[in-house]
Each structure stands twice: as structure tokens, then as C-alpha cells.
């Protein structure tokens, strides 16, 4: 497949591609390099939203945080307690949004199937 | 009497693309005898004014909204009693920010959704590229005019930071990309291609990545990618002044742009003007902005790009041909009657 676009009238893409392959071969670089052009951005935007909501609806992993804090854990414990109380409403809201979105999607797909 | 034609932006900064275009439009409007000021939610430089100071509209007055993300400016725009004109600069699809900046991702989603509601609310929609115009069409805008980003010789030809230019003029080829550090701009691939170029052809080469770093997680990933190859020869400059930016353009041997999404890509026309051969990915509005110039690739494979960087950096046939085509494109852009087209669109 051609990988240089024929946009520039001054350039012959096939000839330039061949020149690139030749120069790579001369330097003993494998021409068929592994695919490295993987975008971090492919996929369904709604799926990304679900994942985000899942993430923010999840409880903070307090055990892991306390383990990482080591001897400072005794200082962290009361702060986490306050944080848990403050973030409770936001977590409930995130759960609800997630459930509403999933319910809407499944209704739409049921309607499409009919 | 001519109508007043004001402009409204989310943020006004004379150094960014929207700011440059707003200034150019203001100059064209004032030359046409219109009273014209710039208003913004956040004002970072003169001659911007706070959005709250926007005067009430007469029926013939015009408000131009520069739109690139949903913001409170949209509400002010919709409350304007005169004619409403939207200039669409594109919203990066939110998915690019996933995992780097979740809030930015959601703001982009919201911006695109809000854009869909504006179609029936504007008297005129303008896009800076056909690519952007097609997006507006998909979102229900009935008639969209194309007003390409203006080539501003005054800004591009201004004062150069000579001390910096002297420092950059040392030995070794300089590869350049200009743009904020953002996942859609794929500076990670630019770094990997540069590392391959340096390993295969030019151990003394430098890569300058010029641009602000608004997404700390992506900037940190770029630093890790650079360090993975030894980190030699790579500079992430952060945001720079106009004189410093001109010094980077002056020192560059090749400009490389591997963005996956661009609504226009102003640094391409700055590179055309700087006489720097361009290697770019055929994505978004990039082919349209280059208009038959530069070398466009469909896939960004670092080792193949390394060879192209080498061919473009050396004074050979490819470089000569690419520069000849770029000069023709530059002449086309220079000949574009921006002021006249603007007046026609606004019926002035």
C-alpha cells in the first residue's frame, strides 16, 4: 500500500517510497517495521464516557494508599475519612449517570432490534 | 453609517492562532470604517476587553464568536440582539484526551454538543478550512463560508530573538514542530521519528518541540519517551515569545507535523513563509492547508520518516522540489484577498 500521498506535483510518491526502502536496506534496517502508529484515540466516545464514569464512581483504594504511605499512614487515615464523607454525593451522582446512560443505550438497541 | 462589528473569544491572547486571526479581522474592519473591538472571557493581552464590557447591540451590529470549545462566551453570543456570526476553529475530538486529562475530554464533548445547537442560532457561519466547514455541515449548519486563516506578514516578519538565534545556529540539523503539547498532535511520534533519524543519519541533530504544555500527563509521557532514547538533542521549550518563535523558525532545517487532528494548523503556513521544507501527516485539514506542497505521509512509521527527514534536511533534489512547491503555495496564500472576502461575507 502506498504510504506517501500524491499531493505534491513535484514528487513521484512511488519513486520516493522506493528510495526510502533502498536507504533503509543499505543501513540494514528492516523495511517492514512493526506498527508503531497506534493512536490512543480510537473507539466509541460513549464507551470512553462509560469507562470514565466507572473510574470516578469507584471507591478510592484506601488500602493501597495507606500501604504506600508506610509510616505516614496514621496521618493519612483521618484525611481519608473526611474525603470519603465529602466525595460520597459525587460518587452516588456518577453511579446514577452511568446507570441512566446504560439504560438508555439498552433501550435504544432493543428498539433498533424491533 | 457602518455597523459596529465586535468579536468575542473564550480567551484572547495575541500569541495564539485565534488571537492572531481576531487582530487581523479587527484591522480589516477598522480599515473598512467599522467600529470594531475584541472582547473575551479571559483577556491575556491588549487590545482585548472583558466580555462584560460588550456594549448592547443595535439591530445592524454584528458579533463574531470565535468558537473552539464550549464556554460562557456562547451564552453572551446568544444574547446578542444584532447579527450573529460564528467563526469555527475546530474542537479537538475529546477521545484524544482520554487518560491524559479527563476533564478536557468532557469539555470537548460538551463543546461539540453545544456546537450542534448553534446551527439555527447564527446568521452566518464561517470556517477556516473545508475540513471545518464539513464538520459544521454535519452538525446542521445550513450555509457555511470558508475564510482561511490569514497569512500575517507583519507578525511573521517581526523582530527575532538574536541571542537565541545565535545559540541555535550551532552544528547539527534542527528539526522543528510548533504546537501545544497535546495527544492529538502526536509529539510522541515526532520524538520517536527524530530518535530514529539521529541514530541512523545525524548523531548531532536537534529536535525543538515549541509550545505550551497544558496537559501535564502528556508532557510527562513525552519526557519519558525522550529519555528512553537517551534524551539527547531534544528540547521541550514550553511557550515562547514571538521573537523566540521566529528564532526557532529561522534555525530549523525541516518542519515535521504528525498530528492526527488539525482544523487548519497555522505553523504550516509559518513554515512555508520561513522557507522550511515540511514533512506532515495527511490528517484533518493538513493536506488542504498545504495545498499541494510539502511531503505528506499516510502512515507515521518512525524509521521511514527518519529517511525522509534526512532527504529533506540535505541540500538535494527532494529538498529543492519541495521548496519550489512550497513557494508556489505561499504565493497563493499571499494572493488570497482576506479583507475583501471578509467584507463580502459580512455585507459591508
ipTM of the complex as predicted = 0.85
Segment A31-57 mean pLDDT:
60
**What is residue B330's predicted lDDT score, i.e. its pLDDT?**
96
pLDDT band at A36 (very low <50, low <70, confident <90, very high): very low
Chain B contact for A19, CB < 8 A? yes
Alpha-carbon distance of B278 to B265, in angstroms, equals: 12
Chain A contact for B311, CB < 8 A? yes
A12's grid cell: 513521484
Chain B contact for A60, CB < 8 A? no
CA dihedral B20→B22→B27→B33, nearest 10 degrees, is 180
Alpha-carbon distance of B134 to B47, in angstroms, equals: 32
Segment A35-53 mean pLDDT:
59
**What is residue B143's predicted lDDT score, i.e. its pLDDT?**
84
Beta carbons of B302 and A10 less than 8 Å apart: no
- CB A38 within 8 Å of CB B186: no
- CB A83 within 8 Å of CB A60: yes
Chain A contact for B294, CB < 8 A? yes
pLDDT band at A38 (very low <50, low <70, confident <90, very high): very low
- CB B177 within 8 Å of CB B144: no
User: With pLDDT > 90 as the criterion, what percentage of chain B qualifies?
Assistant: 77
Alpha-carbon distance of A68 to B322, in angstroms, equals: 55
Cα nearest neighbour of A40 on chain B: B96
**What is residue B117's predicted lDDT score, i.e. its pLDDT?**
87
**What is residue A1's predicted lDDT score, i.e. its pLDDT?**
66
Write the residue in B102, B260, B290 that is nearest to A39 by C-beta.
B260
pLDDT at B220 over 50: yes
Highest mean pLDDT (candidates A27-36, B62-71, B249-258): B249-258
**What is residue A99's predicted lDDT score, i.e. its pLDDT?**
78
Beta carbons of B299 and A3 less than 8 Å apart: yes
Q: Which of B131, B8, B15 is nearest to B73 (CA)?
A: B8
Alpha-carbon distance of A106 to B274, in angstroms, equals: 55
A59's grid cell: 471507591
Query: Testing the interface with A: which of B98, B197, B258 to mutate, by most A Cβ within 10 A?
Result: B98
Q: pLDDT tens digits for B16-26?
A: 889 999 999 99
Contacting residues of B for A23, CB less than 8 Å apart: 307, 310-311
Segment B209-223 mean pLDDT:
95
pLDDT at B219 over 80: yes
Chain B contact for A7, CB < 8 A? yes
Burial A27-50 (b: 16+ CB within 10 A, else e): eebeeeeeeebebbbeeeeeebbe
Segment B134-155 mean pLDDT:
90
Segment A77-86 mean pLDDT:
87
Beta carbons of B308 and A27 less than 8 Å apart: no
**What is residue B209's predicted lDDT score, i.e. its pLDDT?**
98
Q: Give the C-alpha distances (Å, rounded to integers) separating B15 from B158, B183, B298, B334.
A: 13, 21, 31, 21
Backbone φ, ψ for residue B203 (5° rounding): -60, -15
pLDDT band at A44 (very low <50, low <70, confident <90, very high): low
pLDDT at A97 over 90: no
Contacting residues of B for A20, CB less than 8 Å apart: 304, 307-308, 311
Quick one: DSSP state of residue B315?
A: S
Sign of CA dihedral A90, A93, A95, A101: negative
- CB B38 within 8 Å of CB B6: yes
Alpha-carbon distance of B266 to B128, in angstroms, equals: 10
Alpha-carbon distance of B239 to B214, in angstroms, equals: 10
**What is residue A41's predicted lDDT score, i.e. its pLDDT?**
45
Segment A46-63 mean pLDDT:
75
Beta carbons of B293 and A8 less than 8 Å apart: yes
Q: Looking at chain A, how many residues does it have?
A: 114
Alpha-carbon distance of B151 to B154, in angstroms, equals: 9
Segment B257-261 mean pLDDT:
97
Contacting residues of B for A49, CB less than 8 Å apart: 109
**What is residue A94's predicted lDDT score, i.e. its pLDDT?**
79
Backbone φ, ψ for residue B178 (5° rounding): -120, 125
pLDDT at A61 over 80: no
Segment B265-288 mean pLDDT:
96
pLDDT at A37 over 60: no
Alpha-carbon distance of A14 to A32, in angstroms, equals: 16
Query: Testing the interface with B: which of A17, A18, A20, A24 to mutate, by most B Cβ within 10 A?
Result: A20
HSE-up (13 A, CA, CB side) for residue A7: 25
Alpha-carbon distance of B343 to B186, in angstroms, equals: 37
pLDDT band at A42 (very low <50, low <70, confident <90, very high): very low
* CB contact residues (below 8 A), chain B span 235-274, against chain A: 260
Q: pLDDT tens digits for A13-32?
A: 999 999 999 999 988 776 55
Helices (H), chain A: 13-26, 45-57, 62-69, 73-113
Does this model's pTM top 0.90? My answer is: no
Chain B contact for A45, CB < 8 A? yes
pLDDT at A40 over 50: no
Segment B257-277 mean pLDDT:
96
Residue B222 three-state SS: helix
Residue A8 three-state SS: coil
State the average pLDDT for chain B.
93
Amino acid at each position: 500500500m502506498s504510504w506517501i500521498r500524491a499531493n505534491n506535483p513535484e514528487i513521484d510518491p512511488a519513486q520516493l517510497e522506493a528510495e526510502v526502502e533502498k536507504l533503509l536496506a543499505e543501513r540494514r534496517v528492516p523495511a517492514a517495521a512493526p506498527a508503531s502508529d497506534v493512536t490512543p484515540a480510537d473507539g466509541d466516545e460513549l464507551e470512553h464516557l462509560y469507562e470514565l464514569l466507572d473510574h470516578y464512581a469507584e471507591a478510592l483504594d484506601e488500602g493501597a494508599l495507606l500501604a504506600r504511605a508506610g509510616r505516614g499512614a496514621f496521618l493519612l487515615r483521618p484525611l481519608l475519612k473526611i474525603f470519603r464523607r465529602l466525595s460520597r454525593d459525587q460518587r452516588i451522582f456518577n453511579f446514577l449517570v452511568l446507570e441512566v446512560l446504560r439504560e438508555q443505550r439498552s433501550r435504544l438497541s432493543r428498539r433498533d432490534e424491533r | 453609517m457602518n455597523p459596529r462589528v465586535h468579536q468575542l473569544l473564550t480567551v484572547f491572547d495575541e500569541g495564539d492562532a485565534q488571537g492572531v486571526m481576531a487582530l487581523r479581522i479587527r484591522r480589516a474592519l477598522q480599515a473598512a470604517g467599522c467600529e470594531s473591538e475584541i472582547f473575551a472571557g479571559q483577556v491575556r493581552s491588549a487590545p482585548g476587553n472583558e466580555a462584560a464590557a460588550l456594549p448592547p447591540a443595535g439591530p445592524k451590529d454584528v458579533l463574531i464568536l470565535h468558537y473552539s470549545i464550549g464556554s460562557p462566551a456562547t451564552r453572551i453570543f446568544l444574547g446578542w440582539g444584532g447579527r450573529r456570526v460564528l467563526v469555527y476553529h475546530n474542537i479537538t475530538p475529546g477521545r484524544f484526551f482520554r487518560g491524559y486529562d479527563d476533564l478536557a475530554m468532557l469539555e470537548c464533548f460538551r463543546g461539540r454538543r453545544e456546537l450542534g445547537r448553534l446551527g439555527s442560532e447564527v446568521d452566518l457561519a464561517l470556517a477556516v478550512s473545508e475540513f471545518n466547514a464539513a464538520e459544521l455541515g454535519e452538525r446542521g449548519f445550513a450555509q457555511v463560508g470558508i475564510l482561511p486563516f490569514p497569512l500575517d506578514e507583519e507578525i511573521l516578519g517581526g523582530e527575532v530573538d538574536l541571542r537565541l538565534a545565535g545559540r541555535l545556529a550551532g552544528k547539527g540539523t534542527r528539526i522543528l514542530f510548533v504546537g501545544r503539547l497535546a495527544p492529538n498532535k502526536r509529539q510522541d511520534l515526532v520524538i520517536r521519528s527524530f530518535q530514529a533519524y539521529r541514530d541512523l543519519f545525524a548523531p548531532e541533530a536537534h529536535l525543538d518541540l515549541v509550545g505550551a504544555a497544558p496537559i501535564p500527563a502528556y508532557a510527562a509521557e513525552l519526557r519519558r519517551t525522550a529519555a528512553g532514547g537517551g534524551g539527547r538533542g531534544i528540547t521541550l521549550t514550553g511557550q515562547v515569545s514571538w521573537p523566540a518563535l521566529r528564532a526557532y523558525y529561522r534555525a530549523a532545517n525541516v518542519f515535521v507535523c504528525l498530528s492526527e487532528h488539525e482544523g487548519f494548523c497555522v505553523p504550516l503556513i509559518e513554515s512555508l513563509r520561513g522557507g522550511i521544507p515540511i514533512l506532515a501527516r495527511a490528517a484533518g485539514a493538513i493536506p488542504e492547508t498545504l495545498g499541494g506542497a510539502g511531503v505528506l505521509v499516510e502512515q507515521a512509521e518512525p524509521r521511514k520518516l527518519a529517511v525522509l527527514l534526512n532527504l529533506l534536511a540535505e541540500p538535494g533534489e527532494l529538498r529543492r522540489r519541495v521548496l519550489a512547491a512550497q513557494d508556489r503555495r505561499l504565493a497563493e496564500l499571499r494572493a488570497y484577498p482576506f479583507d475583501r472576502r471578509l467584507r463580502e461575507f459580512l455585507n459591508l
